[in-house]
Amino acid sequence: MTARTTSKRKISKRKIIIAACTGGALLAVSPLVAQAAAPPPPTVAAKGAALLDASSGEKVFGKADNTVRPLASTTKLAVASVVLDTKGVNLEQQVPVKQEYRDYVTEHEASTADLQTGDKVTVNQLLYAALLPSGADAAYALADTFGEGDTPAERSESFIGKMNKKADDLGLTKTEFKTFAGISSKDVSTPLELAKLAKHNMENATFREVVKTKEYKGDAPAENGGTRHYTWTNTNQLLGSYKGVVGIKTGTTTPAGPCLVFAATRGDTTLVGTIQNSKDRYADAAKILDYGFDSDSAEDMKLRKLPSGAQTD
């Protein structure tokens, strides 16, 4: 586990010991003593974790943060990145839902937004559908729309290529994608590189708006000429449970274990972090954020409950 660095970060009053001497004069402890007084990094259950300062990119915390691990549905951060970084992207473009998208969910027993065949949903709605209930059907729809080729298979393969190019462009040398939904154990990254991808995504206003949403409700034209009403709940239970959390995304598969990408803002500081393969991902994230914010909020945290029937991931 790597201790927190102190460069470019303010040392809080909790970390500086001011001693009172006889006569009431105050003696400030030397910088070496002040640093020694800083609390130790927290112990977390996760096999890998990282926390970054979103402004400077400075690493605040790390545990096995350069070890490659499966991503599960946190892969969909790369889906969103490719879509939102597309020049001239039209978020209101309507995308017809194909039966292939639903079949993909069934075939892989993947999480779903329950998109209905023939409905016309917008690109913006597909981002909500992919990032809140972690819909593999929505991720497929985005890949099919923004990839190139003559068939859905060719277009999705093209899109996965764009996801890998995005990783290359961001300098994420240990990150690789084999699917758009995170269903493969070969969709991999490190805690640190995944945090860097999340930091990049959080620079986009649309992404920030989507991932901070606890519940999305929207309508779409249905194939029969009527209107379909969709409701999608954010699977990230840290949102609404820990003070300042503004996103981002869960992910769970057997090879990856429970994973979490998260971000929180307090004052003028935003921290972006990752948890990979943890039996207690939310408690881990809260501990790491407490460490970054010099807080004790994790002690009293009560997780937001998901509605009955909502997707879990």
Residues known to be catalytic: 73, 76, 134
Residue indicated by tokens 């972690």? 134
Q: What is the 3-state secondary structure (H, E, C) of the chain?
A: CECCCCCCCCCCHHHCCEEECCCCCEEECCHHHHHHCCCCCCCCCCCEEEEEECCCCCEEEEECCCCCEECHHHHHHHHHHHHHCCCCCCCCCEEECCHHHHHHHHHHCCCCCCCCCCCEEEHHHHHHHHHCCCCHHHHHHHHHHHCCCCCHHHHHHHHHHHHHHHHHHCCCCCCECCCCCCCCCCCEECHHHHHHHHHHHCCCHHHHHHHCCCEEEEEEECCCCCEEEEEEECCCCCCCCCCCEEEEEEEEECCCEEEEEEEEEECCEEEEEEEECCCCHHHHHHHHHHHHHCCCHHHHCCCCCCCCCCCCC
